[in-house]
Structure 1
Amino acid sequence: MKAARIVFSVIALGAVSVAVAADWPQFRGPERTGLSKETGLLKSWAEGGPKLAWKATGLGESHTTISVAKGKIFGMGLVGDDEKVWVLDEKTGKSLWSVKIAGRISLNGRQGGYGSRATPTVEGNFLYTVGVAGDVLCMKVADGSIVWRKNLVSDFGGQVPTWGYSESPLVDGDKLIVTPGGQNAMVALNKKTGATLWKSPLSNRVAYCSAQIATVNGQKQYIQFLGEGVFGLSAVDGKPLWSYTNPANGVWRDINCSMPIYSDGMVFAATAYEKGGGLVKLTGAPKAEEQYFRREMLNHHGGMVLVGDYLYGTGNNSLMCLEFKTGKIVWESRAPGKGSITYADGMLYCRSERGPVTLVEANPKEYIQRGQFEQPDRTREPAWAYPVVANGKLYVHDMDTLLCYDIKDGK
């Protein structure tokens, strides 16, 4: 097949407000928690949803959750036979640049398409990302020129998982953390040069999750959901510190997609396929001691958010609210459907993988819905990209199309 040239089209639907400093520079936001600190957003939506500011098309086949930084929007997609990183103008949605990083590969699992899964991580003048075949790149934000490149398979002995590499790389100081899987499950690279700083001695299959930073009892570590469970690895040398295998998927084994939630020395992790979710307390050994396990919390791939003392996420096709420390289910509703979740300004933004986008109060007492709309130009593929809230806008990405909605409260 002849490689297709990437073509962007944008429909402008009104003035776009001036951005305030509320960027979303990596997967799940500034702290990888799915929580935005932005305020002054709409508390309810009119029928049909908030105002559409602009629509961009021609982005390629992709489940990428976008990132937003420095007035730009970053994403990835498969256009013809080319996997590309693309950048749009935040105000207008117009294309600034797109750069090919790899060619098409054949994945064993066709479900959801062959396109990109990772979210580019933006820091300073550089972005870092992982292609579906394991290409790790450092690129210049200004023009997309490639600074350095590695590959998780050829350089570190990893194996492309069934649905392709899906990790969004983690920047920690001078280190870039990525997860090839295999004999060295996680590696740390010099973010400026790509040189290997350490390879973890942990041997484990890669899953579809992204790592996060936690400091437990004064020790910095990286928490990652791998094929056989959740692991804590030393930030110094990658040595495994603790593990929690109970939430790992028991049917397909490596379909562990949602990032665990860390708070105050405790970790909650969940998967689907008749498994569920559980909470462990990290002790000084270090050791992970399970506090409870809820089989109702079948969180497949849409993630969870912790707001105060309560955990919100979809399980068993319902949006659920759990007490984080006890596991008590406070309420659940099927209205939003199964999907992904983001929090901002007291509200939950729920994006169903098959249907609507729903605005729900982050209310630990009861389910209160404040708006819902059906996404226009819906593709036939499942919608796995998370909703993003940044600078008064809501972004909904669906394969070839990115929709930008104005959610700033005019009052």
Structure 2
Amino acid sequence: MKKSDTAGAVSVDPTFQKPLRLWPGVVAVALLWLLRYIVPIIIPDAAMFAIFGGLGLGLVVVVWWLFFSRAPWIERLGALVLMVVALAVTKRFVHPSIAGGMQGMLLFVYAVPVLCLALVAGAVVSRGLSTGPRRATIMGAILLACGVFTLIRTAGIIGIGSEFHWRWTPTPEELLLVQASSEKEPENVPISLPAPAAAPVETPLSAKTSIKPAAVASPTPVERVAEKKAEWPGFRGPERDNVIHGVGIETNWSQSPPVELWRKPIGPAWSSFAVNGSHIYTQEQRGEEEIVSCSDLNTGELVWKHGDSARFWESNAGAGPRATPTLSNGRVYTFGATGILNALDARDGSVVWSRNAASDADEKLPAWGFAGSPLVIDSLVVAAAAGRLIAYELATGKPRWYGPNGGWGYSSPHLAVIDGVAQILLLNGEGVISVAPTDGKLLWKHEWKSDGIVQPCVIAGSDVLIGSGSGGVEVGMRRIAVVRDPEGWRVEERWTSTGLKPYFSDFVVHKGHAFGVDGSMLSCIDLTDGKRKWKGGRYGAGQMVLLPDQDLLLVLSEHGELALVNATPDQFTELARFPAIKGKTWNHPVLVGNLLLVRNSQEMVAFRLPVART
């Protein structure tokens, strides 16, 4: 009998599949999570690198799964298709704060590491199962990962990422509205203030002064109505520079800590305070009303409030106004996030006049809302409708002039005197512009593609400092020289530095140095060349005031902590730290005498700081 040719041959099962090659996926997803979530904790300034690096490692996981995992091709392609479809469907059901966060990219940015983990975990757990259960396990892991995002919401960005909460938990604003519904409304009884001086009679510009061409405008005398100056008239103080002279505080807070005077809940807003006498003014959001409120400085009790039917919300910064009230001659001037410009009687909140600057200037609502605080100069109040200035008559609210179009922007109009000429500066997305206060005509401009948020600063009489953080094409600080000659105005760059990169935390200037937040840390640069002297501390996107008499910075961190830091270039030295307020805090602090006011989107607090011993 003839033996078969196949005798002794090994029988091979045609359905045999090599085991999954899992270790590259495990390593890649471990590195992804390490880079995405651990590195930013250790190095906060590496947050953007972590986001993009995480996306890159997510691509590595996809490449592993497609070409090196040994999974059947139907599983390789099916898992990726399921991820894409599930993510697209999930976006229809997530909370608006998730759908719109990071300019609509939040879900994708956070889903990449979660889905990669789900894929790898599903493959590892099901590696010993038969085909059906294995596929069901991987599919279930992917769907579960997507489903998690339908259960959460975000309260915006904070520090190195988003601030997540369960979707069903009430927001601080919702809790405040429930509490306020049972409280008695203020009677808006007029408070005792000096009677406003008569508003100046508006006359044509030609009757006031002889105006030369804008390029060579000469300084004109400022016509001011006699009035008692407010202690803190508005955004960043009297000069909009966060500098407080004549104040000395004790720096040993371990022995003499700040004393809390009162603490009150408040609606969301990124406004700061204006202070006059025993009253404070601020803005907030309550439901569908944008609120301007006056409270007692000594108790925090509400005195009066004014409401406009308007609500602005976006997922990164949340709801509410962004600007700070401005006090002048017995009136409160406020600018809402949707463009409502109000002139109110400071005594009782009654409306003197109201305009919509967005409509008047034909400007679209910017992504983060209108944020510039009004500027009162002469007989005008000037608002920044995004990157365009518009001036209104104080007496009537009638538009007087419109500045040049400047694109988008979030900074406030800034009064400056350069080479003896009064002018209004504005930092916007195109750079910095200067216009004449009398007619809004352009004096000069300097192109610099910034994020258009922080305030400019005039130094040495005719030089201007401008800054830009991670949101601009240009990043860092730039010093420009502004010169007026017979031919007009000239602007020259002196230096550009990345030693300080202010995003929306304003910087201060002291003794030839600038101090500000770079990423999440304080930084000091030399104004002669822009070189960094030191960088230290962890304050997130906080704000600060300068006490020049003590060479001292009073810092309010993004997480609500107060800190005292030496405003000296030799080294970073933190002298004291104190927990002041709960929650994310982007609002500018206010110091009047030794009374400190802080607030955020949840509460406002007053502290008495210990006075320095003499």
> Shift in Å at residue 5 of structure 1?
7.8
Partner of 2:239: 31
Partner of 1:316: 519
Partner of 2:452: 256
Partner of 2:468: 271
Partner of 1:65: 272
> Shift in Å at residue 6 of structure 1?
8.0
Q: Alignment partner of 2:360: what SS?
A: coil
Q: Which moved more, 1:165-174 or 1:37-46?
A: 37-46
Q: Match for 1:214 among 398, 408, 416?
A: 416
Partner of 2:531: 328
Partner of 1:117: 322
Residues 73-122 of structure 1, C-alpha deviation per residue, up to 9 Å, x if partnerless?
110111111110011111111111111023224x4x32121111110001
Structure ranking higher in strand proportion? 1
> Shift in Å at residue 206 of structure 1?
3.3
Question: 2:320, 2:267 → 1: CA distance?
Answer: 8
Instruction: Map 1:41-80 onto structure 2 (within 5 A).
Output: 41-46=249-254, 49-57=257-265, 59-80=266-287
Question: 1:5, 1:122 → 2: CA distance?
Answer: 31
Q: Root-mean-square deviation (CA), in Å?
A: 2.3
> Shift in Å at residue 159 of structure 1?
1.5
Q: Are residues 1:101 and 2:298 paired?
A: no
Structure 1: which 5+ runs fail to align?
10-20, 250-254
Partner of 1:352: 557
> Shift in Å at residue 22 of structure 1?
8.0
**4+ long deviations beyond 4 Å:** 1-6
Partner of 1:280: 480
Question: 1:336, 1:38 → 2: CA distance?
Answer: 26
CA contact (8 A) 1:268 1:277 kept: yes
Structure 2: which 5+ runs fail to align?
1-172, 185-228
Q: Match for 1:143 among 339, 348, 357?
A: 348
Partner of 2:150: none
Q: Tell me the amino acid that sits aligned with residue 214 of structure 1.
A: A
Question: 2:234, 2:252 → 1: CA distance?
Answer: 27
Partner of 1:292: 495
Residues 111-149 of structure 1, C-alpha deviation per residue, up to 9 Å, x if partnerless?
121111110001121010101100000000100001001
Structure ranking higher in helix proportion? 2
> Shift in Å at residue 222 of structure 1?
0.5
Partner of 2:566: 361
Question: 1:304, 1:410 → 2: CA distance?
Answer: 25
Q: Are residues 1:154 and 2:362 paired?
A: no
Partner of 1:18: none
CA contact (8 A) 1:336 1:357 kept: no
Q: Tell me the amino acid that sits aligned with residue 262 of structure 1.
A: V
Would the alpha carbon gap of residues 38 and 335 (structure 1) be closer, same or farther in structure 2, given more than 3 Å must change? same
Q: Alignment partner of 2:285: what SS?
A: strand
Partner of 1:304: 507
Question: 1:5, 1:125 → 2: CA distance?
Answer: 33
Q: Tell me the amino acid that sits aligned with residue 455 of structure 2.
A: M
> Shift in Å at residue 231 of structure 1?
0.9
CA contact (8 A) 1:305 1:342 kept: yes
Q: Alignment partner of 1:36: what SS?
A: coil
Question: 1:213, 1:50 → 2: CA distance?
Answer: 33
> Shift in Å at residue 245 of structure 1?
2.3
CA contact (8 A) 1:120 1:130 kept: yes
CA contact (8 A) 2:283 2:321 kept: yes
Q: Are residues 1:233 and 2:435 paired?
A: yes
> Shift in Å at residue 357 of structure 1?
2.1
Partner of 1:91: 298
CA contact (8 A) 1:321 1:332 kept: yes
Question: 2:517, 2:363 → 1: CA distance?
Answer: 31
CA contact (8 A) 2:271 2:322 kept: yes
Question: 1:308, 1:150 → 2: CA distance?
Answer: 41
> Shift in Å at residue 168 of structure 1?
0.5
CA contact (8 A) 2:597 2:607 kept: yes
Q: Are residues 1:133 and 2:338 paired?
A: yes
CA contact (8 A) 1:387 1:396 kept: yes
Q: Match for 1:386 among 588, 592, 598?
A: 588
Would the alpha carbon gap of residues 52 and 4 (structure 1) be closer, same or farther in structure 2, given more than 3 Å must change? closer
Residues 355-383 of structure 1, C-alpha deviation per residue, up to 9 Å, x if partnerless?
5321112222222212112334x23xx42
CA contact (8 A) 2:230 2:277 kept: no
Q: Which moved more, 1:59-68 or 1:132-141?
A: 59-68
CA contact (8 A) 2:520 2:541 kept: yes
Q: Match for 1:193 among 396, 416, 423?
A: 396
Question: 1:76, 1:355 → 2: CA distance?
Answer: 19
> Shift in Å at residue 322 of structure 1?
1.5
Q: Which moved more, 1:70-79 or 1:364-373?
A: 364-373
> Shift in Å at residue 43 of structure 1?
2.5
Calculate the TM-score normalised by the size of structure 1: 0.88
Partner of 1:16: none
Calculate the TM-score normalised by the size of structure 2: 0.60
> Share of identical aligned residues, percent?
26
Partner of 1:13: none
Question: 1:260, 1:116 → 2: CA distance?
Answer: 22
CA contact (8 A) 1:350 1:359 kept: yes
Q: Alignment partner of 1:194: what SS?
A: coil
